[in-house]
Amino acid sequence: MKQSRRNFLATGAAASAAMLTQVTTFGAAHQEAITKTPLFSAPTDLKITGVKSAYIRRGAGLFIKITTNQGLIGYGEGVDAVGGTHMLVQRFERMLIGKSPLNVHRLYEDIRKGGVFGGAQAGVYIAVLSAIETALWDVSGKALGVPVYQLLGGKFRDSVRVYCDTALYQNNLPTPADFAKNASEAKSMGFNAIKFDLDQANDPGKYDRYNWTASPKELDRMVKQIGAAREAVGPDVDICVDMHGKYDTITGEKVAKLMEPMNLMWLEEPIPAENIDAYKKITESTSTPICAGENHYLAHGFTKMLSSGAVDIVMPDLQKAGGLGEGQRIANLANLYYVPFAPHMVATFLGAMATAHVCASVPNFLIMEWQIYFHTDPMFKEITIHEGEQVTNSFVKVSDKPGIGVDLNEEAVKKYAAQGYPFFE
Ligand SMILES: [Mg+2]
């Protein structure tokens, strides 16, 4: 092509401008190439390089961070049975370094079976494993570009219904008026299901400090408290009642019977977790649905409870019962007995969303626990990174982002980190 002088000059000017741009942004193209290179271009080459822990809530809340050779990071959370477990995390890290995080079930089984002679049936071992397993799902979802519910087989629902735990137990001897006020407040916040605790260690009506039988005065207090809550919110709000396993079988039977007119969604842990036969006795004695599971571990912890009809509803805590895969297994097992799945949840929004992925992935999901602290304690807003609202009108929208869809703001976590524990190191 014949080029005129005018064109030549124009081209030259453009070239000079381009060169100038190149000079002023030296290295930009290289940086852009790095940015555009998909981190998950070769999932088969993905390897775990680190499994680190950090703790909040004086050690009762565990965060796990899994790092990889491709820069992808996965987060998981464990609760309750996790205090003082950083050495256990280090032990599990040694079992995971160099492995592909994509084989979630296999790595989970390696760790679980690796501890069967050391207490891997329950407790701290399984709670820590739950946090690690969750982080494996998170990093796998990020590597493959899909949300965790997709890895779990897809979803039955886009949003997960939650009930609000009112935390009225923090009050000293709450009155029926306090119950009514808290119930109304939760309803006005948009919640259509709420939970109250009825066990009060300092109730002056108690027979004594160690006796597990509720006195007539205690029973009367319980009926008045829940009666006031029911009256305040009307018949359309679901009410759950928790006794934290603090009573004996005859008390469980009496409270369940007394609560029948209140039309509860469930009565939770009227007695301690261990004796399934005692649960069956209470469940068969009443029309109030009986719920248990937050102190049971693994699917094995639910087999007898389900096959014997000892409970009406199961409520495993996925941050301690074995993680997301085990949570789905428990839900599917319950489904075989036509029993609803209503997971306990006392984690941060990371654990809440992780649990929500499982709730979305099973047909028999009933409702998930939500905590008032998400609205009252600034820590729970500061330490997680996510898109959109945490909860809207009793529903949590299940994230469509790769992985869990909730990351940790490590700087904020550091601000609230438990003293005397490692911080992702
Ligand atoms: Mg409970």
CA of 340 to the centre of ligand 1 (A): 16
Which residue carries 């409970």 as its tokens? 311
Instruction: Tell me the residue ranges of DSSP E strands in 35-103.
Output: 48-56, 61-68, 73-79
CA of 307 to the centre of ligand 1 (A): 22
| Residues 365 and 389 reside in one and the same domain | yes
- What is d(CA 69, CA 39) in angstroms, rounded to the nearest whole number? 10
| Residues 154 and 104 reside in one and the same domain | no
CA of 99 to the centre of ligand 1 (A): 36
Amino acid code (one letter) for 275: N
198-244 residue pLDDT tens = 999 899 999 988 889 999 999 999 999 999 999 999 999 999 999 99
Last residue of a domain, one of 93, 110, 145: 145
Last residue of a domain, one of 82, 117, 145: 145
| Residues 66 and 163 reside in one and the same domain | no
Q: Work out the number of other CB atoms within 10 angstroms of the CB of residue 130.
A: 34
Q: Within a domain: residue 32? A: no
Q: Is the pLDDT of residue 19 over 90?
A: no
CA of 365 to the centre of ligand 1 (A): 18
CA of 166 to the centre of ligand 1 (A): 12
Burial of 250 (0-12, 13-18, 19+ CB in 10 A): middle
CA of 345 to the centre of ligand 1 (A): 9
Which residue carries 């409270």 as its tokens? 255
Q: Within a domain: residue 13? A: no
Q: Within a domain: residue 216? A: yes
Last residue of a domain, one of 145, 160, 180: 145
| Residues 155 and 141 reside in one and the same domain | no
Q: Within a domain: residue 25? A: no
CA of 85 to the centre of ligand 1 (A): 23
CA of 386 to the centre of ligand 1 (A): 27
Instruction: Tell me the residue ranges of DSSP E strands in 243-372.
Output: 266-268, 290-292, 313-314, 368-371
Which residue carries 């390897």 as its tokens? 47
Q: Within a domain: residue 9? A: no
Q: Take residue 260 and report the two structure tokens written for it.
A: 């029948």
Query: What's the per-residue H, E or C state across 86-144?
Result: HHHHHHHHHHHCCCCCCCHHHHHHHHHHCCCCCCCCCHHHHHHHHHHHHHHHHHHHHHH
| Residues 255 and 357 reside in one and the same domain | yes
On whether the pTM is more than 0.85, the answer is yes
Q: Work out the number of other CB atoms within 10 angstroms of the CB of residue 10.
A: 12
| Residues 252 and 113 reside in one and the same domain | no
34-38, 159-163, 173-177, 413-417, range with the lowest pLDDT: 34-38
Amino acid code (one letter) for 279: Y
Instruction: Specify the pLDDT at position 40.
Output: 52
- What is d(CA 75, CA 55) in angstroms, rounded to the nearest whole number? 13
Q: Within a domain: residue 55? A: yes
370-405 residue pLDDT tens = 999 999 999 999 999 999 999 999 999 999 999 999
233-273 residue pLDDT tens = 999 999 999 999 999 999 999 999 999 999 999 999 999 99
Number of domains in the chain: 2
CA of 43 to the centre of ligand 1 (A): 40
Instruction: Specify the pLDDT at position 6.
Output: 43
Which residue carries 């002023």 as its tokens? 24
CA of 268 to the centre of ligand 1 (A): 6
CA of 368 to the centre of ligand 1 (A): 12
CA of 221 to the centre of ligand 1 (A): 19
Q: Is the alpha carbon torsion for 98, 101, 106, 112 positive or negative?
A: positive
Do residues 263 and 291 touch, judged by C-beta distance below 8 A? no
| Residues 163 and 300 reside in one and the same domain | yes
CA of 235 to the centre of ligand 1 (A): 23
CA of 392 to the centre of ligand 1 (A): 23
| Residues 158 and 300 reside in one and the same domain | yes
- What is d(CA 356, CA 343) in angstroms, rounded to the nearest whole number? 9
Instruction: Specify the pLDDT at position 28.
Output: 75
CA of 242 to the centre of ligand 1 (A): 5
SS3 for 242? Answer: strand
Query: What's the per-residue H, E or C state across 275-289?
Result: CHHHHHHHHHCCCCC
CA of 93 to the centre of ligand 1 (A): 31
Question: What percentage of residues in the chain have a pLDDT greater than 90?
Answer: 86
CATH assignment of the domain containing 289:
3.20.20.120
| Residues 162 and 254 reside in one and the same domain | yes
| Residues 95 and 156 reside in one and the same domain | no
99-125 residue pLDDT tens = 999 999 999 999 999 999 999 999 999
Q: Give the domain extent around 58.
A: 43-145
Instruction: Specify the pLDDT at position 335.
Output: 98
CA of 146 to the centre of ligand 1 (A): 32
CA of 128 to the centre of ligand 1 (A): 20
Q: Within a domain: residue 231? A: yes
- What is d(CA 78, CA 130) in angstroms, rounded to the nearest whole number? 6
| Residues 228 and 354 reside in one and the same domain | yes
CA of 243 to the centre of ligand 1 (A): 7
The mean pLDDT of 267-292, rounded to a whole number, is 98
- Please give the backbone phi and psi of residue 294, each rounded to the nearest 5 degrees, phi first: -70, -15
Question: What percentage of residues in the chain have a pLDDT greater than 70?
Answer: 91
CA of 241 to the centre of ligand 1 (A): 9
Instruction: Specify the pLDDT at position 170.
Output: 72
CATH assignment of the domain containing 54:
3.30.390.10
Instruction: Tell me the residue ranges of DSSP E strands in 271-390.
Output: 290-292, 313-314, 368-371, 384-385
Q: Within a domain: residue 361? A: yes
Half-sphere exposure of 60 (CA within 13 A, CB side): 6
CA of 294 to the centre of ligand 1 (A): 6
Instruction: Tell me the residue ranges of DSSP E strands in 202-297.
Output: 238-242, 266-268, 290-292
SS3 for 33? Answer: helix
CA of 224 to the centre of ligand 1 (A): 20
| Residues 134 and 73 reside in one and the same domain | yes
| Alpha-carbon distances of 409 from 225, 283, 318, 406, rounded to whole Å | 39, 44, 22, 10
